[in-house]
Amino acid sequence: MNTPVTSGTSQAWAALGADSSLLDRVSYGGPSGGLPARLPVMELARATVAVCSLAAAELTSVRTGRPVPRVRVDDEAVATAFLGDRLARVDGRAWSTFSPLSRFWRAADGWVRTHANYPHHRARLLTALGVPGVAGEEAVDRVTQAIAGLTALEVEEIVYAAGGLAVAARSPEDWAKSEQGVMAAGQPLLTAARIDDAPDRMLGAAALPCAGLRVLDLTRVLAGPVATRTLALLGADVLRIDAPQLPESQEAHNDTGMGKRSTTLDLGEAADRRLFEELLGEADVVVAGYRPGALERFGLTPEALAERRPGLVIAQLSAWGRYGPWHERRGFDSLVQVATGIAELEGSPDSPGTLPAQALDHGTGYLLAAGVLRALTEQHRTGGTRLVRLALTQTAHWLVHDLARAPGEDEGFDAEHWLTETDSPMGRLRHALPPVSYEGCPVNWARPPGLWGTDAPVWGGAHQ
């Protein structure tokens, strides 16, 4: 397939506030059958990777002084990357990305989906449903019984009140009529703004668009780490920081930790907070993926960050958006699919369904990286601290209401063409190659992921 620029790419590039004339630098190819769905998931995937690649090419032109390189989007590479968390292996061993308590359950009047991959979320779910401390098959049986005796909305409210995660399955119509759905529908795909008059940061000559840039990665799970993994591919020094008291899956990090280093700091402890402020004082980009309010309590609002480090690019990601009654709720891709009606659209009369990949996470991740890259380009031209914001619900609205299927989405697919193996501290790692591509773009990350949380909290790996 070799099609002209798709409408999805045009829409996303316009949302980034970019020069439409650059779209003629983009071309497509490769089989497109890797993400079969009723909704135009493949179009979402190719469009988000296309604009990320084009934004990287645009910034490369800024750094090199040469014309914007051409972008080639291969659908097979894109589909493989969107399935990368499921295709990754260590020494041939696969792992489950969802726990037995992260699934659909039948309530008294419909369906509910829960998310309990983390131990603290699992404990809160069980406590909310009146079955604390159980495990294994007994936990599944007891949760089944508890949810069957409640309405879907009752489960949602009870579990969220306890700090857990559960969402009632809604139809697209019900979501569109809800207060949160109405507000999400009124939002653009993303927002990008200049928030002060900090002087421009002149980027020096470099072959890679993010060479010499330092990125504080305050993200977890998938969308945010996909974005920062992409910035690492493009030359950035990315340091992921997690709270030591919040457990993280090494298996997830095997997929999303490519090219980065990872450390832990407790921002509630004075010594760790001083280390964080030192890192912030030399950062160029801060990417935050926690729910609204989680980082703000540490004084990490965009305005406060801009005051302490003028000229930053700040990128914020959330599940439900920074508006409406759900703005402080925790959320994940699977739950956003259920709330917004995607699960109903992809399901059957007997049960809800799912997208063929965690496409909201992956797609939003590439959009987030594109937003950072475009902010760096605009900042180089006119200065200012820049703020980029995205939400999974806004990506979901785009998928359901604005995108259309492109030709060729029933072609064959072979992920093996876009998988490779590399040695890592965990063993021989099989992983997807990056789908972001332009003339001169790296074809793989410069380093494999390491053991989560074990790097020193310094820039550049000086104490590795």
Active site residues: 361
The 3-class SS string of the chain reads CCCCCCHHHHHHHHHCCCCHHHHHHEEEECCCCCCCCCCCHHHHHHHHHHHHHHHHHHHHHHHHCCCCCCEEEEHHHHHHHHCHHHHCEECCECCCCCCCCCCEEECCCCEEEECCCCHHHHHHHHHHCCCCCCCHHHHHHHHHHHHHCCCHHHHHHHHHHCCCCEEECCCHHHHHHCHHHHHHHCCCCCEEEECCCCCCCCCCCCCCCCCCCEEEEECCCCHHHHHHHHHHHCCCEEEEEECCCCCCCHHHHHHHCCCCEEEECCCCCHHHHHHHHHHHCCCCEEEECCCCCCCHHHCCCHHHHHHHCCCCEEEEEECCCCCCCCCCCCCCHHHHHHHCCHHHHCCCCCCCCCCCCCHHHHHHHHHHHHHHHHHHHHHHHHCCCEEEEEEHHHHHHHHHHHCCCCCCCCCCCCHHHHEEEEEECCEEEEEECCCCCECCCCCCCCCCCCCCCCCCCCHHHCCC
